Structures are given as structure tokens and as C-alpha cells.
Amino acid sequence: MTETGDFILQTQGLTKEFKGFTAVNGVDLRIRRHTIHALIGPNGAGKTTVFNLLTKFLTPTRGTIAFNGRDITPAKPAEIARMGVVRSFQISAVFPHMTARENVRVALLRKLGTSFHFWRGERALAPLNDRADELLAMVGLERFREAVVADLPYGRKRALELATTLALDPELMLLDEPTQGMGREDVELVTQLIRKVSANRTILMVEHNLGVVSTLCDTITVLQRGAVLTEGTYAEVSADPRVKEAYMGRAA
């Protein structure tokens, strides 16, 4: 009973095979509610694939996924998003030909219930502007509202993606390397931002920057060749010789 109360997301034996190659192999994840949980591991360990399975961008070969105690294995990606599990992408996912404000507005629009209204003018979008600007300010993009996103530097695009994800007020946020490709300052900014938005929310993040992981994350799951190698706090995991070896193995 407390099982499902404590854990917002649970997977059992999650497996994904690509033509004989097993990218994710029997992963049992348990994400505790209102924590920040990291998924780390060397390149190609299967982290992004796990995200794709959780959000059903890929269909698991085997295994089940439960969100809030409910089996969501058969759900479609958009349904999962509507339930409150929203992801970001490893390669920044924005709408490049729209402005920053329009990007965030599109995310806000769905709950307004007018997303099929093709006969309404631009004015129908106006009520969303304040909230959109608020979210943009939150990620330090207030000066770039009207900028076409294709012209923004990479770090700004990632920040925008975060604002767009936040616009949905997700219960569980999946962030795939939110600081990748960012300079030191931006990393700092995003780290603080993630901490800020983690209140009343659960976050599962893939992150290579161990500094970020150590400051932010309550629990860390280490993935290696598609399987869970170990799990624990940063101190526990970083002391584990197998983890070092896994990362060394990558370097060699």
C-alpha cells in the first residue's frame, strides 16, 4: 500500500531489444516521489532508451511501467504527457521557427482547450502571454521573448525547452542531459533552476556532469550496458569500485 504511495514511477523487467541487440535489459526502476533521481552511466548505456521507453516513444520488448500505481505500459506518448509525465530531449527540442514566447504558449495552449479552434484569431492566444512570460523569466529568457528560436544560442534553447516543459506543470519531469553543451555559468543557472522547480515535483534526469548530480540528486541509478549496475546516494555510488570501472572501461 505504501509501495505505490512512496514511488511515483516503477518499472519491472523493462527490456528493449533492437534486432538482437539488447539496449535495455531487465531494468527495475523505482522513483521516489518528490525526489531528484539521476540516471547515469557511460555512453551507450541505454539511458536515453530508458527515457524513450518510459514515455513510450519506444515500445518495450518486455516489462511493465507503472505511474502512480497504474500500469501505463500500453499508453501512447501524448497520453503519458497528459497524465503528467513530461520529458525533455537529449538534443534540444524546441520549435525553431517560432518565437520563444510562442514555444511556451504552445505548451500552455492544450489545457486552455482551444487547440482545435482554427477559426479564432490571434487574440485567443493572448490570455496565455502573462504565464508564458513568467516562465520565460524563470529561465532567464525575458529578453528573448520575440526572438525566433532558431537564432538563439544552444544554451538558451535548452533553457527554453525547460520552460516549455515546466509550462505543463508535470508531476514527473524527465530531463535528458539538461546541461549538455552548456558553459559553466549556464550549468550553474540550470542547476539552480532544477532545484527550484523540483519542489512538489519528481525529477528523473540523465546527467553526465557529476558535479550537477552530486549537488542535486537524492538517488542515483547507474546503468551499464542496459542493466542496472548499482543504486544509492552519491556517496555510496561514487565509492563503488564497479562504477569507477564502468566509467574507466569507457575511456579505455
Ligand X SMILES: Nc1ncnc2c1ncn2[C@@H]1O[C@H](COP(=O)(O)OP(=O)(O)OP(=O)(O)O)[C@@H](O)[C@H]1O
Strand partners for 85: 172
Binding ligand X by CB under 6 A: which of 10, 11, 48, 221? 48
**Which of 18, 59, 111, 154 is the binder for ligand X (CB under 6 A)?**
18
Query: How far apart are the C-alpha atoms of 187 and 40, rounded to whole Å?
Result: 17
Q: Is 47 in the site for ligand X (CB under 6 A)?
A: yes
DSSP 139-160: TT-GGGTTSBGGGS-HHHHHHH
Q: Which of 11, 15, 48, 103 binds Mg ion (CB under 5 A)?
A: 48
For the purposes of burial, counting CB atoms within 10 Å of the CB of 240, is it exposed (0-12), middle (13-18) or buried (19 or more)? middle
Does 219 participate in binding Mg ion (rule CB under 5 A)? Answer: no
Angle at 69 between CA 2 and CA 83, to 5 degrees: 130
Judged by CB under 8 A, does residue 97 bind other proteins? yes
If one asks whether residue 109 binds other proteins (CB under 8 A), the answer comes out as yes
How many residues bind to other proteins according to rule CB under 8 A?
Answer: 38
Determine which residue in the list 14, 63, 102, 162 makes contact with other proteins, applying CB under 8 A: 102
Binding at 77: pick from other proteins, Mg ion, ligand X, none (beta carbon under 5-8 Å per type): other proteins
Q: Does 25 contact Mg ion by CB under 5 A?
A: no
Residue from 184, 147, 164, 46 nearest 94 by CA: 164
Q: Is residue 108 close enough to count as binding ligand X by CB under 6 A?
A: no
CB burial readout 178-207, b (16+ within 10 A) else e: bbbebeeebbebbbebbeebbeebbbbbbb
Nearer to Mg ion, 85 or 205 (CB): 205
Q: Pattern of binders to other proteins over 75-94, x per CB under 8 A?
A: -xxxx-xx---xx-x---xx
Could you tell me which of 206, 246, 76 has the C-alpha nearest to residue 194? 206
SS3 87: strand
Q: Among 69-77, 84-92, 105-113, 134-142, which window interacts with Mg ion (CB under 5 A)?
A: 84-92
Q: Which of 14, 37, 46, 92 binds ligand X (CB under 6 A)?
A: 46
Among 5, 13, 96, 211, binds other proteins (CB under 8 A): 96
Which residue number, 149 or 206, has a Cβ lying nearer to ligand X?
206
